[in-house]
Structure 1
Amino acid sequence: MDNRPSRHRLVRIRSSRCEPPDQWRLSRREIGGALVRIGLLTEGGYPYVSGDARLWCDRLVRGLGQHEFDIYALSRSERQEDDGWVQLPPQVGRVITAPLWTAPDDGVVYGRRARRRFAESYGELAAALCEGGVGDASGESSAAEADRFASALYGLAELARDEGGLVGALRSEIAVRALERACRAPGARQTAREARVPELLAVAAHLERALRPLSLDWYEDDGLGAVDLCHAASGGPAALPGLLAHHFCGVPLLVTEYGVRLRTHYLADTESAPAVRALLAAFHGRLATETYRRAAVVTPGNTHARRWQERCGADREKLRTVYPGMDAARFAEVGESAECGDPDRLVWVGRIEPAKDLISLLHAFAEIRKEEPKTRLRIVGAPTGPEGAAYLGHCKALAAQLFPDEAEGLHAVGDNPVSFEEIGGPEVPTLADAYASGAVIVLSSVVEGFPISLVEAMFCGRATVSTDVGAVVEVIGGTGLVVPPRNPKALAEACVTLLRDPERRERLGAAARARALELFTVEQNITAFHSIYLEIVSHTPVRRVVLDNTGEPLPFAAPAEAHVPGHWTELSTRVVARGGPGRAAGPPVRATPPFAATEGASG
């Protein structure tokens, strides 16, 4: 009997149908539905109300009603859990959650052999971080180094499965000493050798948090082992359960990254000691390399993300660029309208934070006013956190300094050249109204992944001026003007060019809207993932035991193509359900004659 304590909270979302889940799945298969059971893996995201990529995941799940989704969600904070979930559609079979932000001591006491296994695996993991070239921006690693990291990672996962958890071991003195030995070993990089006790403790604490998914009991036949494929909605911690499901159960893994987690780590960790930054960068780089290596398909959201993935070792043959799906309907009225907005107004829309570089925008606007005195600037957005609030205050102070004669009442609209507003106010009741209010939309960021506000402006048929960061050039595709970042003069010149040429604004806006409707809609995104799901399943051997009438197993009796409706799904013989005693049964499988598999089922 398995006496391991449960480390997740399991909540079953029952369908509005009256049949039990297995009967429901069978009935859909019988009527020819292309049913694939997908384990959607998230970290700090769907189904939480305040989750990252919540809208994208929700649209994906709702748009693929012919498939079934089990959601495995890692939460980031207690507040996120308290905020609750979005309303889930009936194709969600169950939701299993686990907190990534806390891990109470599991009470697991290792014996001598288990302690030795842990010391060996953790020591190998630490050695893989201290040696080699991972940790620089390239994230490149040799095959031998990647194998060493992977062997140590799965060794820890197997130990957690055998003993009931890793939490106590990862917090133990054994872990810190193993990390210290790796840093002091011959061949360790200089930055690792410089780590002192406080740095070692910081690295060990981060590794303990990052490796918490290894202690979850998700990797059984009644958990992720029961799905047809795992879809990680991001890299990093979200993909780790997918790696373990592949390792333990052979479940194929699909990884989607609209913002590369390794890049996010590099940008976020600016205050740690050099040794801490180097070791953590090595860990995230090795994990990214292993994720891309084991994934069946990797779907970057743009070419900018794709380049990062290739530098981390992703095989080009596995990469499929799938742009984020956005709701174009909410901008249809503005995009189809003949009105072009105030011809003398520039509009900026987004989250107010230092990366958006509103300081350069304000300096550029001062230059614009010298050439076109009637021009006004509307900044629409809310600050994100204390840093954003402080930055907003700084921007307002700068605007008052740049336009002293018009500073009174700067927070309102009217004759003032600059206004700071939020969606829902009297002047901009909706997001579409914000874009509709001006002739030119400006993006001034110094750091940007996929520029959502730029696509929204394109849906509205607006001409744009953007800085050349992230995926901007790829998104705009020649339908707007692009200038270097942190260059107020170039930004001002481009804006003046469009303000003085209404015909060009109209041409660029129409071209931008056509491009956005072709590439960046929800429908495009859903269609792409539907095809990818079927492609992965069709090339993956079915992990089920199928018996003939005498009770003997039939080799190759359940081809992967049985998931796809067609003449090859007209099976006969005995029906055998997945699972076993004490396990939840999966969809029944009907056997074909021996050796009935097609090419896609090989391997």
Structure 2
Amino acid sequence: MKIILIVEGSYPYIFGGVASWIQMLITGMPEHEFEVIAISSSREEASQWRYPQPDNLTRVHDVYLMDYLALSEGRGPRLSPAEAQACLDWFAFAGHADLEKALPMLADPKRLGNPLTYLASPAFWPWLMERYRQETPYGSFHAYVQSWHAMVVPALSLLQQDYPKGDIYHAVSTGYAGLLAASLRFKHRKPFILTEHGIYAREREQELWQAAWPEAEFKPRWVDYFYHLAQCAYRTADRTVALTSEARAIQLGLGLPSERSVVIPNGVSYERFAQLPRLALDSAARGFVCGAMVRLVPIKDIQTMLHAAALASRQLPELELWIMGPVDEEPTYAEECRALVHELELDSFVRFLGLVEVTEYLPHVDVLLLSSVSEGQPLAILEGMAAAIPWICTDVGGCRELLEGSDSQDTAPAGCLVPPGDPEAMAERLVQLCRAPETRTAMGQAGRERVERKYRLSQVTEAYRKLYDEVVSGWPG
């Protein structure tokens, strides 16, 4: 079986939870051939592989969204009135849009034509002018058009490229990856599976409201656009996988048909982490070590963690904080974090270790921290739990289900939850756990047992193996 994974802003160029999951999925199914369509914003983002290439990964196809800036106009559209209307329904983010008709048109350069030429053609331009009159009649028309170009042209350019044919397409998010998978499902008449590690549309919404661009008057349309892309994927995918029951409920609320929805959690190599010794059992004889397995990027909110460490250190002079993860993904943010360490006078006990082999450090860690503002179901939490280390996590995504459990056999917590963006709450929990070694041991043991029972990598791999076989064997023709 040839499986085409479609990935946006991740594998193999970004180190992190989703990319690590992809690497584990590919290596866990050596009997299948994989190809990856890697969607990156720019060529600079796809300059270096972060993972060794598995033997059964035969090719990576790179696509760059910002390449649309180099487009020049070309042939115009050749659409019937019904086809032109189907495309406009899609651009209107209409829930009734005929995706089976619209997506093949949008992806066909012989029918839709060049994206720039299409937007200026009678098939689109009058519709756009009417939208302008309805939405922002007193705003800048030029800015309005540019906003539409920035939104639509990258997607059309993405769809109109050539891609491999596989036995199944597997998108690892909605957004551009899910849109492309939906289009290829219709083009090649092959099934499409969607896995969401987080709720992509909600994450983009959060980023958009905080970003300086686009202008405030255009933000609502961009938010609607990403929810529209999500609904295109939900309506088209033959199966959509959520990591948790909570995430599945959100997907259903956004329009996912329940009969095509399944839950498959993340998993880790239990043996790799469970065999690690627990050297951090007597913090009285050494420093109290807090660890963080995390990328230095804004969504992880490292600065809240640093403020929490500063507050806790007033009562815990023996405190150390080891931050394990790549620092080069967003250099500006990483530098802001380093500057904050100096400003808060934390230089003596905060260490940025970079991308390291975490199994060499985890035996010395007393408590692990996660201060993210958004998460799916973090692999880092599962790795720490398998190593019997308690957690202090923000109450986002699937963190609560991991730490508190989801069934009657989960009788003890594996850590503590705190609100996002609340360094005082995180510091308070840090102090409490430092002074309660028995509690730390009990939480660590509860976490290890939970991973052994429900979150082993072998269980996840087998679930996807069965899902691939089920969907492909049930595909007509």
Q: Given the two structures, how large is their TM-score scaled by the length of structure 2?
A: 0.83
Aligned to 1:29: none
Deviation at 1:373, TM superposition (A): 4.3
Aligned to 1:276: 218
Verify the 8 A CA contact 2:291 2:365 in the aligned structure 1: no
Aligned to 1:147: 96
Is 2:345 aligned against 1:345? no
Residue 162 of structure 2 aligns with an amino acid whose one-letter code is D
Equivalent-residue separation in structure 2 for 1:237 and 1:439 (angstroms): 40
Instruction: Tell me the secondary structure at the aligned position of residue 83 of structure 1.
Output: coil
Aligned to 1:238: 177
Deviation at 1:392, TM superposition (A): 1.2
Q: 1:378 pairs with 321, 324, 343, which one?
A: 321
Q: 1:62 pairs with 20, 27, 37, which one?
A: 27
Deviation at 1:299, TM superposition (A): 0.8
Instruction: Tell me the secondary structure at the aligned position of residue 195 of structure 2.
Output: strand
Aligned to 1:251: 190
Aligned to 2:105: 156
Q: What is the 5 A alignment of 1:165-204?
A: 165-170=113-118, 172=120, 175=124, 177-185=126-134, 196-204=141-149
Task: Identify unmatched segments of 5+ residues in structure 2.
Answer: 405-412
Verify the 8 A CA contact 2:316 2:431 in the aligned structure 1: no
* 1:395–1:356 CA distance, 2 compared to 1 (3 A): farther
Verify the 8 A CA contact 1:149 1:286 in the aligned structure 2: no
Deviation at 1:84, TM superposition (A): 5.5
* 1:251–1:341 CA distance, 2 compared to 1 (3 A): farther
Aligned to 2:410: none
Is 2:152 aligned against 1:217? no
Verify the 8 A CA contact 2:278 2:364 in the aligned structure 1: no
Verify the 8 A CA contact 2:104 2:187 in the aligned structure 1: no
* 1:447–1:463 CA distance, 2 compared to 1 (3 A): same
Verify the 8 A CA contact 1:213 1:240 in the aligned structure 2: no
Aligned to 2:409: none
* 1:192–1:439 CA distance, 2 compared to 1 (3 A): farther
Is 2:64 aligned against 1:99? yes
Deviation at 1:388, TM superposition (A): 1.5
Residue 75 of structure 2 aligns with an amino acid whose one-letter code is V
CA root-mean-square deviation: 3.3
Q: 1:291 pairs with 233, 237, 242, which one?
A: 233
Aligned to 2:37: 72
Aligned to 1:486: 421
Q: 1:395 pairs with 340, 346, 351, which one?
A: 340
Most deviating of 260-269 and 87-96: 87-96
Deviation at 1:330, TM superposition (A): 4.4
Listed one character per residue, the Cα deviations across residues 210-257 of structure 1 (whole Å, up to 9, x for unaligned) are 222321233xxxx42xx3321112222112232123223431110011
Deviation at 1:172, TM superposition (A): 3.3
Aligned to 2:384: 457
Deviation at 1:526, TM superposition (A): 0.9
Listed one character per residue, the Cα deviations across residues 166-197 of structure 1 (whole Å, up to 9, x for unaligned) are 33424536545532322435xxxx57986743
Residue 115 of structure 2 aligns with an amino acid whose one-letter code is V
Task: Identify unmatched segments of 5+ residues in structure 1.
Answer: 1-35, 130-144, 401-409, 544-603
Aligned to 1:312: 254
Listed one character per residue, the Cα deviations across residues 264-309 of structure 1 (whole Å, up to 9, x for unaligned) are 2212223222332122222221221121111111012234533432
* 1:353–1:394 CA distance, 2 compared to 1 (3 A): farther
Deviation at 1:73, TM superposition (A): 3.4
Equivalent-residue separation in structure 2 for 1:298 and 1:118 (angstroms): 28
Equivalent-residue separation in structure 2 for 1:362 and 1:83 (angstroms): 29
Residue 148 of structure 1 aligns with an amino acid whose one-letter code is A
Most deviating of 307-316 and 503-512: 307-316
Equivalenced residues, count? 459
Deviation at 1:482, TM superposition (A): 1.6
Verify the 8 A CA contact 2:105 2:112 in the aligned structure 1: no
Equivalent-residue separation in structure 1 for 2:316 and 2:110 (angstroms): 73
Q: With a CA cutoff of 8 Å and minimum separation of 6, indicate the structure with the bigger relative contact order.
A: 2
Deviation at 1:510, TM superposition (A): 1.1
Residue 248 of structure 1 aligns with an amino acid whose one-letter code is K
Equivalent-residue separation in structure 1 for 2:46 and 2:267 (angstroms): 26
Equivalent-residue separation in structure 2 for 1:63 and 1:261 (angstroms): 25
Equivalent-residue separation in structure 2 for 1:75 and 1:491 (angstroms): 35
Q: 1:419 pairs with 342, 350, 358, which one?
A: 350
Deviation at 1:47, TM superposition (A): 4.6
Residue 432 of structure 1 aligns with an amino acid whose one-letter code is T
* 1:45–1:120 CA distance, 2 compared to 1 (3 A): same
Verify the 8 A CA contact 1:165 1:216 in the aligned structure 2: no
Deviation at 1:200, TM superposition (A): 2.6
Equivalent-residue separation in structure 2 for 1:460 and 1:540 (angstroms): 41
Equivalent-residue separation in structure 2 for 1:352 and 1:266 (angstroms): 21
Q: What is the 5 A alignment of 1:97-136?
A: 97-103=62-68, 104-105=70-71, 108-110=74-76, 113-114=78-79, 120-126=85-91, 128-129=92-93
Instruction: Tell me the secondary structure at the aligned position of residue 147 of structure 1.
Output: coil
Instruction: Tell me the secondary structure at the aligned position of residue 110 of structure 1.
Output: coil
Instruction: Tell me the secondary structure at the aligned position of residue 442 of structure 1.
Output: strand
Deviation at 1:461, TM superposition (A): 0.9
Deviation at 1:455, TM superposition (A): 2.4
Bigger Rg over Cα: 1
* 1:184–1:115 CA distance, 2 compared to 1 (3 A): farther
Instruction: Tell me the secondary structure at the aligned position of residue 369 of structure 2.
Output: strand
Deviation at 1:198, TM superposition (A): 0.5
* 1:52–1:184 CA distance, 2 compared to 1 (3 A): farther
* 1:397–1:236 CA distance, 2 compared to 1 (3 A): same
Equivalent-residue separation in structure 2 for 1:264 and 1:106 (angstroms): 32
Listed one character per residue, the Cα deviations across residues 370-418 of structure 1 (whole Å, up to 9, x for unaligned) are 5x44431314145442432342134213422xxxxxxxxx53xxxx4x3
Deviation at 1:118, TM superposition (A): 7.9
Deviation at 1:364, TM superposition (A): 4.0
Listed one character per residue, the Cα deviations across residues 108-164 of structure 1 (whole Å, up to 9, x for unaligned) are 4237x54978864554333x24xxxxxxxxxxxxxxx32226367326336x25448
Residue 156 of structure 1 aligns with an amino acid whose one-letter code is M
Residue 504 of structure 1 aligns with an amino acid whose one-letter code is T
